[in-house]
Structure 1
Amino acid sequence: MTWVYGAQVHHRATIEAVAAGFLASLRELMDGRGTPDAARRTPGDFPLARLSSAALERLLRRFPDVEDVYPLTSLQQGMLFHVALAPKGSGVFHEQLAWTSRGKADLPALRRAWAEVIARNAVLRTSFIHEGLPEPLQVVHGEVELPWTEHDLRGVPVEAQRARVAALVEEDRVRGFSLAPAPLVRMQVVRLGDEEYRFLWSHHHLVMDGWSVGVMLQEVFACYAAFIEGREPALPRPAAWRDYIAWLQRQSLARAEAFWREELAGFTAPTPLPGVRPAAPGVDAAVTGEEKLWLSQEATAALQAFARRNAVTLNTLTQGAWALLLGRHAGQQDVVFGATVSGRPVDLPDAESMVGLFINSLPIRVGLPPEAPVVPWLQRLQARQLELRKYEHSPLVQVKGWSELPRGLPLFDSLLIFENYPLDTSLGQGVPGLEVRDVESHEQGNHPLIAYVVPGDRLRLSLAYAPELVSADEVARLLERWRVLLEALVSGAERLSDVAAQVEGPALQARGASSAQAVKYVAPATPEELALAGIWTELLGQPRVGALDDFFALGGQPEMAEQVVARVREALGVELPRTAVFEAPTLAGLAEVVVRMTGSMRRLADDPTSRGVGALDPAALEQLSDEELDALLDATEGEG
């Protein structure tokens, strides 16, 4: 250590005495570093957590091996809330990745590689606590062991192997994760043959996103390659997830608030989903169904060429087609859906190589003027997404508060996820002794309809859905219409109206007709069904309408919903919400809504002839759904 001083101000002996005293104090601190007092942790050791001394003491009694503590991101808080409400075994936010490896796998070396990566990345050693705290916290533990289970199915018939693997996947999903003990990850290895293995990796979405899974797997296979070659891994020091938490705490939301208030101005009701029924009370509407389709190589190449030629991305194209699909079914020219954004700040060093949960779900608002030229419309949509990138860290709950949407309504019911981290193309590439194939992933969100896009030689579109709310047939139809709209965007159509018209082209009309003919005819029986059958016959020109028939399968158009509502008002004196036609598209289903609405209005009136708001019975009001209350207010607006 060197001391520099001004000889005109200080004597040498004075500086020597100060230096000697400094060294003595330093030695005293070093000598006492092993004492209980020196080992005592204080809130200052965890500056991001804002813990009181008492809260820290309680936490350390429960987790003596604490390495770090910090708060959750806004998305993690939202996930924690949904997990707390979800029934046990629901699988919500449980992520699974499975793949088959062929070759002379060295399982001890692979297990050691996983342990090395978990030691490198704090988020893989993290648990979550919230009981007795002013805010939820994530706790990083000094050491954890990866739960690792091996199953030997060698000699078992192939069909029995497949059944057992499928059962393991389901058992793993139902088992879920408890959030308090770390780690929130585990691995199962199934040996199918002497040189064939099926791996099942699962983790809770709270700890990382899809991009992070790719980063983590690159590290695992790099470590594995080093170990089987008898050397230590030469990986750079990992970027710390806590740096992102610190970055978030430095951000001001003032500009984000101004952006979102302008973006969502005038938006007052969520865009209705096509064919999705409202959840019945007490029904667990878990997102467990999924329908997929792949575009042809030629269609995918056409999309890519169009995107390059017009300086837009595939993500923008798929968002544009999804917006057109929602607008077409809802009969609206202004729609909002959710989209998952990467959330990795460009001004945070090494953010792309961090392992953690950066993604966010934010609203995408799209205007659909029919006469808008296609290419400029897509380019404006992309420019808006680039502007949104500055505010990807915005907490969704606050964005909702900055909108004009009434309390209790979601900003969006559908979510679009563009997966720019296709694992099946890179998993284990170049790893000695391991040929990776048959990669499958499964995740379970909490939106009734989740649209996925996976790029590749053949673009994959899929829709995850809650079977309790929407049928597989309806989802398959939506998926096909999404494909048609996507391909129509790049077909040379000049205006949005030309693109939208193709969703009801000859091929789809023929498919709808055959689908309608395949439905067993059940004659309308109730007065409500008979009245609706007459309305549909008049509007659709169909000679015979059955109770199980679907309005849209019979040729109904989204914009005709207003006509249905008006005819029901004239014929039955019931004010339906316009979304009822989309949420209950069958004749019997819509008749049930009419019956329910009729009964609700009767319960609400003290005098059977009165429809004034002043006559409402508060006890009866408590029995109504939000949909029924909204319709009642519409019916009574302007009266009295």
Structure 2
Amino acid sequence: MVLNRPDRPNHAVVAFIAAPQVAQTGDAVPTILLNDTAIGIARAAIREASITLPDHMKPSTFIVVPSIPKTQSAKANRRALQALLHSDIDIDKLKQAWATVCRGNEVLRTCFIPVAALQKPIHGCENDSGILQVMLEQHEVDWEYIECKSKSYQQNLHRRIVALQDRHQSSYFQNPPWAITIMDDFQERTMIFSIHHVLYDGTSLGYIMNDVCCAYGADARNRPQLRNALSLLLPSKKASLDAQEFWEQELSDYADFDVPSWPDLTGERTSPERGNIRRFITETVPLSVPTAQLEAKTAELGVSSVASVVRAAFGHVLLSYPGSSGVVFAETLSDRVLDADVDRTIGPFISVVPMPMSSNGTVREVLAEQHRLSTKAKKHRHIHAQVIRKLLKKERGESLYPALYLHSMLPTK
């Protein structure tokens, strides 16, 4: 459960590492050697580590951390994750591996152009505020090799990340918003992969890094392409209108709710000039009963999924903060479940849907309503955030949702 945060960070930094590990500056970090033996060891370690992590956080020779959001100052504090490349790694060969993966995956050659910036109108595109997604035939990897002394390492890395963010944001992502940076302090080399969330989901990051490993060993992977996935996922005009009509009806009672301002749930004190630094806050709650018993009790309550019970509990926790009788939070849905080829494709296959929650009714009635909404939301998952903002009468710049709910079924030993 993640409270008071954007649904996804503006940027992510991915470190090339064999197993998930957070490292502070100066800490010793495991190295990896890109050969078949090391790759096998790394994947085995990842499978072991992944058992305790939700699906959207599972590593696959990568670590993801938020970088500096657009709304924060370039001087905002942030935490960096470090990982080292083995000294035997051939940098030119590694760069060629990234180029191979880029050529083989349309999503890494995808950029975005505002319709208003075009000199000629586009057939079928009537909204000047829209964004066109363009897949380039060729794209040169944004690659930079930085040599610096240890004392200026963090400063140079910070400058590179900020420069990437500013360049991509200022150009509306007219170049594919991802890059590779090699930091060399003459003793150790670190590779950093930065990518904007418009191009990926958690599964994609694993695919990308595994494909780079394979390409480094001259074993190029062949994956379904983004345009094929989009042809399966993008809704028809009728489906879009049906989704808008559905959410208009479901959210009509929530638009005029007089909900108090949401409190800062982090419990941290920050000075006004410093600003807030957004972080994930996680808490593990082990089950006190076997899963089978929990599922049986859920069935007795008239719903078919444990997720409906957990979602309802999450909603009631949110309602307790402002003391309101209703709230609309968000839930993420993976589009990968819709098609086997989509599940193998690199891309941002996540839908974010509103989830209205009311405290009115008995426990059974609340659970039944949450189950109904969840089932319907899967059908009407393709709804633009701008439409939801209008339906909820939210001002531009105002947080659309107070919280984001994710539910992942973990593998069991």
Structure 1-normalised TM-score? Answer: 0.41
Structure-2 separation of matches of 1:118 and 1:395: 29
Paired residue for 1:326?
Answer: 318
Instruction: Say if 1:151 and 1:192 are closer, same or farther in 2 by CA, change over 3 A.
Output: same
Paired residue for 2:350?
Answer: 359
Paired residue for 2:376?
Answer: 387
TM-superposed deviation, 1:186: 0.9
Is 1:190 aligned to 2:190, yes or no? no
- Within a 5 Å distance, the mapping from 1:258-277 to structure 2 comes to 258-267=245-254, 268-269=256-257, 271-276=259-264
TM-superposed deviation, 1:408: 6.5
Paired residue for 1:215?
Answer: 207
Paired residue for 1:206?
Answer: 198
Structure-2 separation of matches of 1:210 and 1:381: 26
Structure-2 separation of matches of 1:128 and 1:404: 28
Is 1:142 aligned to 2:167, yes or no? no
Runs (5+) with no aligned partner, structure 2: 1-69, 119-127, 266-271
State whether residues 270 and 411 of structure 1, in contact with CA within 8 Å, keep that contact through their aligned partners in structure 2: no
- Counterpart of 1:110 in structure 2: which amino acid? L
Structure-2 separation of matches of 1:129 and 1:409: 22
Structure-2 separation of matches of 1:398 and 1:390: 17
Structure-2 separation of matches of 1:455 and 1:197: 35
TM-superposed deviation, 1:90: 9.1
TM-superposed deviation, 1:393: 1.0
State whether residues 177 and 196 of structure 2, in contact with CA within 8 Å, keep that contact through their aligned partners in structure 1: yes
- For 1:361, what is the secondary structure of its paired residue? strand
Aligned-pair Cα RMSD in Å: 4.5
Paired residue for 1:342?
Answer: 334
Instruction: Say if 1:302 and 1:213 are closer, same or farther in 2 by CA, change over 3 A.
Output: farther
- Counterpart of 1:322 in structure 2: which amino acid? F
State whether residues 223 and 344 of structure 2, in contact with CA within 8 Å, keep that contact through their aligned partners in structure 1: no
- Counterpart of 2:236 in structure 1: which amino acid? R
Paired residue for 2:406?
Answer: 418
Query: Out of 214, 217, 234, which is 1:248 matched to?
Result: 234
TM-superposed deviation, 1:386: 2.7
State whether residues 308 and 367 of structure 2, in contact with CA within 8 Å, keep that contact through their aligned partners in structure 1: yes
State whether residues 343 and 392 of structure 1, in contact with CA within 8 Å, keep that contact through their aligned partners in structure 2: no
Q: Show CA shifts across 1:26-70 (max 9, x none).
A: xxxxxxxxxxxxxxxxxxxxxxxxxxxxxxxxxxxxxxxxxxxxx
The structure with the largest helix share of the pair is 1
- For 1:206, what is the secondary structure of its paired residue? helix
Structure-2 separation of matches of 1:111 and 1:301: 49
Structure-2 separation of matches of 1:339 and 1:371: 23
Runs (5+) with no aligned partner, structure 1: 1-84, 278-282, 421-453, 458-640
Q: Show CA shifts across 1:106-149 (max 9, x none).
A: 43333222111111112211222225334432332222222223
Paired residue for 2:107?
Answer: 123
State whether residues 340 and 415 of structure 1, in contact with CA within 8 Å, keep that contact through their aligned partners in structure 2: no
Is 1:397 aligned to 2:392, yes or no? no
Structure-1 separation of matches of 2:348 and 2:207: 12
Q: Show CA shifts across 1:509-559 (max 9, x none).
A: xxxxxxxxxxxxxxxxxxxxxxxxxxxxxxxxxxxxxxxxxxxxxxxxxxx
- Within a 5 Å distance, the mapping from 1:44-55 to structure 2 comes to none
TM-superposed deviation, 1:387: 2.2
Structure-2 separation of matches of 1:120 and 1:221: 14
Structure-2 separation of matches of 1:120 and 1:97: 28
TM-superposed deviation, 1:198: 3.4
TM-superposed deviation, 1:197: 4.8
Q: Show CA shifts across 1:214-244 (max 9, x none).
A: 33223222323x32xxxx42x2342233651
Aligned length: 315
Structure-2 separation of matches of 1:198 and 1:248: 38
Structure-1 separation of matches of 2:368 and 2:86: 45
Structure-2 separation of matches of 1:181 and 1:408: 24
- Counterpart of 1:112 in structure 2: which amino acid? Q
State whether residues 273 and 326 of structure 1, in contact with CA within 8 Å, keep that contact through their aligned partners in structure 2: no
Query: Out of 351, 356, 359, which is 1:368 matched to?
Result: 359
Structure-1 separation of matches of 2:91 and 2:402: 41
State whether residues 113 and 174 of structure 2, in contact with CA within 8 Å, keep that contact through their aligned partners in structure 1: no
Instruction: Say if 1:404 and 1:190 are closer, same or farther in 2 by CA, change over 3 A.
Output: closer
Paired residue for 1:132?
Answer: 117
Paired residue for 2:19?
Answer: none
Structure-2 separation of matches of 1:304 and 1:186: 43
State whether residues 185 and 203 of structure 1, in contact with CA within 8 Å, keep that contact through their aligned partners in structure 2: yes
Structure-1 separation of matches of 2:407 and 2:180: 23
State whether residues 178 and 196 of structure 2, in contact with CA within 8 Å, keep that contact through their aligned partners in structure 1: yes
Structure showing greater relative contact order (alpha-carbon pairs closer than 8 Å, 6 or more residues apart)? 2
Query: Out of 273, 281, 291, which is 1:292 matched to?
Result: 281
Instruction: Say if 1:285 and 1:320 are closer, same or farther in 2 by CA, change over 3 A.
Output: farther
Structure-1 separation of matches of 2:341 and 2:96: 26
Q: Show CA shifts across 1:326-376 (max 9, x none).
A: 211122232211223324572x56222222333233211112247525xx8
- For 2:327, what is the secondary structure of its paired residue? strand
- For 1:330, what is the secondary structure of its paired residue? coil
